[in-house]
Structure 1
Amino acid sequence: MFKGVLLGFACYAAYAISDAFVKSLHGTLPAFEAVFFGAVLGLVAIPFIRKPGDRWHEVFVANRPSLWWIRAVTGAICNVSAVVAFTHLPMAETFALIFLMPIFVTLLSVVFLKEHVGWRRWSAVFAGFAGVLVVLRPGFRQLGVGHFAAIACGMAGAVSVVALRMAGAHEKRISLYGAGVVGPLVAGGLLMLPTFIWPTLHQGWLLAGYGLLAGLAGVLLMLATQLAPANRVAPTQYSQMLWAIGFGYWLFGDTLDWPMLAGIVLILGAGLFTLVREEQVTGWWRRMKLVS
């Protein structure tokens, strides 16, 4: 279990560094183009995720095709909105808004899975949204496309998680990962055509770091969840905030005021509590083949 948790930290460190690479583009390439090249490089991870007996065509198919399509569409939305958010906002602020995902999962589970949510999780939901108001301070600071993109990323991720719950333990990892790569690849490829710009050598290196590290993170997450229960690995994703604050300060000159830091703490605390509480109440981690 200890090795699995360590691999979880390594996985989310790789994701954070990948995000730093795409932020380093500073919006010099269209977001769709960055998503496309990142997805192409993400295909490199598939041979490492493929298990004995898996067939290559299962990257594109699933036992429940609707699940595959939901994963593909939400993967495209997540990738595009994340690139937009990271190129417009400080890294820590972006992660804080994306980390609303567990809150959105709770709300969607009530609607689509008819799950009972007790007062503790409802309190976490309200605390999370209070944190959003503190971070955004509507009416007191200018909000931009990056804020809405980060929230959209969290919402799309929540839809994907709820779809995985509905699927249970019936889908193969290669299909689920494939949908999450093929969706952004196709969407990014089509949407980038009208404004396509050949990347410079420097931009190419940044895109390579973005895509390859994201693929590496996917492999590390798979290894982590083979060695430790997913409910022990999942909270390690919040370590990304430490990377975000460090990268933001040292690499990008990001500054966070005290109200924003307070809002980030509220969002992270609510999200982490929701994550742990949902596992205790529903035990859904143990029912998902993706992370078992």
Structure 2
Amino acid sequence: MLRSLTPVSLGVLCVLGGMASFSTADALVKALGGSLNVFEIGLFSTLFSFLPALFSKPREERWRDTFKLNRPALMILVAFCRVLSAVLITYAFVTIPLAEAYCLVFLIPVLATILSVVVLKEEVPLDRWALVVISFLGVLLVVRPGFREIELGHIAALICALAAAVSLTTIRLISGAERRVTLFALPGLLTLAANLVGVFVVGFTWPSPLLLGGLVLCGVLGGIGYLLQLKGVALAPASRVAPMQYSQIIWALLFGALFFNEVPDAVSLAGLGIIVAAGLANIFADGARTRIAGRWAEYRARRDNPSPDDFKGPGPDPV
């Protein structure tokens, strides 16, 4: 059956599978949070996430090249932001509802848009700024500061989104200069080290066989999600696979209701709907602008370099 699918359809399915894998791992993190501390969960899940992710290393790159940095200051910034976001999102998943954590994490593209203007000096069209504002309004409906208690988990998720946006923006600056193995392995190793330090400070409780199995599964699912996401992006254009990230909202609502008794009220559901709608509109608007720019370039090329066929009159009437 899979052989009959087009590469684009297969890419979309890969990303959908990756998002399901990530969401299941996140739900496991939340479940484990009742028995283990945040750093212990992060330590084991990061360690075991390396198992499937090892297969993503390009053959022409070597593991010993991980620390050969071409732009060390920026690469260290990326690694620091990745460590910070990994620790904070683990804390957020454990302490607040999954759907609310995802709502704040989905501010990453919004914050990345703002940073692209400030740091990369990119021009952002007016309609995209409007969607940024709408996304913020959706977040306000879900979190409702001033109308309900804001927990540390909300603040952690917000800082996580900011750190991830800084990381993404920095990667755009250095992606052509750094090796893929560096971009993957260095942040992972530093995240492992940070959680190890946290375990020494907070304390370590050896997990039971059941909890250890959950930690292994959590890490492996995270690694599988990473591989599926890479494969999907390689098979299909970003405009087709990017909307699939919002399927995580569905998984968050499902897991939250089934396992954690987390049922958002009508206002929160409306806010989540606004965030998803604004995100999808942003993606599809980018795709439409790309298509229009391509057709305009094709028209100008034909106008500036007309072919002989453009000057031919109508052919003879059929007899």
Normalization by structure 2: what TM-score?
Answer: 0.83
Q: Distance in 2 between matches of 1:76 and 1:253?
A: 30
Secondary structure, aligned partner of 2:54? helix
Secondary structure, aligned partner of 2:32? coil
Q: Distance in 2 between matches of 1:29 and 1:185?
A: 16
Structure 1: stretches of 5+ with no match in the other structure? 284-292
Q: Distance in 2 between matches of 1:279 and 1:155?
A: 25
Name the structure 2 match of 1:118. Answer: 125
How is 1:84-103 mapped onto 2 (pairs within 5 angstroms)?
A: 84-103=91-110
Which range is displaced more, 265-274 or 74-83? 265-274
Percent sequence identity is 36
Q: Distance in 2 between matches of 1:39 and 1:279?
A: 34
Q: Distance in 2 between matches of 1:145 and 1:279?
A: 37
One-letter amino acid matched to 2:148:
R
Name the structure 2 match of 1:202. Answer: 210
- The number of residue pairs the alignment matches comes to 283
Name the structure 2 match of 1:171. Answer: 178
Structure 2: stretches of 5+ with no match in the other structure? 1-7, 292-319
Residues 83, 194 of structure 2: 8 Å contact kept: yes
Q: Distance in 1 between matches of 2:236 and 2:177?
A: 20
CA distance 1:177–1:270, change in 2 (3 Å): same
Residues 132, 267 of structure 1: 8 Å contact kept: yes
Residues 61, 68 of structure 1: 8 Å contact kept: no
Name the structure 1 match of 2:192. Answer: 185
How is 1:15-54 mapped onto 2 (pairs within 5 angstroms)?
A: 15-54=22-61
**Which deviations, in whole Å up to 9, do the C-alpha atoms of 1:64-89 show, x marking residues without a partner?**
22343122111111111111111111
Name the structure 1 match of 2:227. Answer: 219
Residues 72, 182 of structure 1: 8 Å contact kept: no
User: Which of 1 and 2 has greater Rg?
Assistant: 2
Residues 4, 223 of structure 1: 8 Å contact kept: yes
Secondary structure, aligned partner of 1:66? helix
1:228 to 220, 236, 248: 236
1:253 to 249, 256, 261: 261
CA distance 1:232–1:179, change in 2 (3 Å): farther
Q: Distance in 1 between matches of 2:76 and 2:242?
A: 24
Q: Distance in 1 between matches of 2:132 and 2:63?
A: 41
CA distance 1:106–1:215, change in 2 (3 Å): same
Q: Distance in 1 between matches of 2:289 and 2:78?
A: 25
Name the structure 2 match of 1:62. Answer: 69
Residues 33, 41 of structure 2: 8 Å contact kept: no
CA RMSD of aligned residues (A): 1.9
Normalization by structure 1: what TM-score?
Answer: 0.90
**Which deviations, in whole Å up to 9, do the C-alpha atoms of 1:97-135 show, x marking residues without a partner?**
110111000111111011112211111111111112111
Residue 278 (structure 2) pairs with residue 270 (structure 1): yes
**Which deviations, in whole Å up to 9, do the C-alpha atoms of 1:110-161 show, x marking residues without a partner?**
1101111221111111111111211111121111011111111211111111
Query: Residue 42 of structure 1: CA displacement?
Result: 1.8
